[in-house]
């Protein structure tokens, strides 16, 4: 029951907050880089879609700078949650130095899984976006006036796969960190 209703000191809580803030910076930076790469693959995903989702529709020429801001906004909260949660698992169970090392590794594991899933999204798009697949996306994107539907859909697959990868990576990282904290081998 302690896993669901944690007991920790104020100092431990502050450290968990620090872990969360650090995770937010890492994930925000990752989001900026991720969106720079995907902007290069399909700029219309940002200029025709994300600008509306994130409230940048008034920007005259939404380009890489807007994509970078969107990348940070879309990712920082994932990192905050992940950093806080990894700290929450480790800090009450092990010494602070070990908790930091375990959590750093957990964040690295999460980033690695996110990258693999993002690449998998790109591969999926290459396989899935045949004539029929592009036709389905064309219909869905009709209101956005997208010209390069294949590039738009590819970036969409990459983004969705990356979020799934972050979730799978976080679950794996939490299980790994918890196992290390409880003295499990492997």
List pLDDT tens digits, range 30-58.
999 999 999 999 999 999 889 888 988 87
What does the block give as tokens for 81? 């949650």
Angle, vertex CA 159, rays to CA 156 and CA 165, nearest 5: 140
In a domain, 142, yes or no: yes
Query: Who has greater pLDDT, 5 or 125?
Result: 125
- Average of pLDDT values for 75-82? 95
Q: 184 pLDDT band (50/70/90 cuts)?
A: low
Range of the domain at 151: 10-181
In a domain, 2, yes or no: no
Number of other CB atoms surrounding residue 50 within 10 Å: 25
Query: Who has greater pLDDT, 3 or 48?
Result: 48
Q: What's residue 4's pLDDT? A: 64
Q: What's residue 166's pLDDT? A: 96
- Average of pLDDT values for 94-120? 94
- Average of pLDDT values for 89-110? 92
What does the block give as tokens for 99? 């908790």
In a domain, 116, yes or no: yes
In a domain, 1, yes or no: no
**Closest C-alpha to 126, from 94, 157, 81, 169:** 157
Q: Number of folded domains in the chain? A: 1
pTM of the shown model: 0.86
In a domain, 152, yes or no: yes
What percent of the chain shows pLDDT beyond 90? 66
Lowest mean pLDDT among 54-68, 83-97, 104-118: 54-68
What does the block give as tokens for 97? 């130095």
């Amino acid at each position: 029951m302690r896993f669901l209703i944690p007991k920790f000191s104020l100092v431990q809580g502050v450290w968990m907050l620090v872990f969360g803030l650090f995770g937010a910076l890492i994930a925000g930076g990752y989001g900026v880089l991720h969106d720079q790469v995907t902007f290069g693959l399909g700029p219309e995903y940002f200029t025709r879609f994300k600008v509306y989702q994130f409230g940048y529709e008034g920007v005259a020429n939404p380009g890489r700078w807007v994509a970078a801001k969107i990348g940070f906004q879309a990712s920082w909260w994932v990192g905050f949650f992940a950093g806080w949660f990894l700290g929450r698992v480790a800090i009450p169970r092990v010494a602070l130095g070990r908790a930091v090392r375990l959590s750093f590794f957990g964040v690295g594991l999460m980033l690695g899984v996110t990258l693999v899933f993002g690449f998998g999204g790109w591969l999926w798009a290459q396989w899935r976006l045949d004539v029929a697949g592009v036709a389905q996306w064309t219909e869905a994107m009709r209101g956005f006036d997208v010209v390069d539907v294949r590039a738009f859909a590819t970036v969409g697959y990459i983004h969705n796969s990356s979020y799934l990868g972050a979730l799978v990576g976080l679950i794996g990282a939490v299980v790994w960190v918890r196992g290390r904290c409880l003295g499990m081998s492997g």
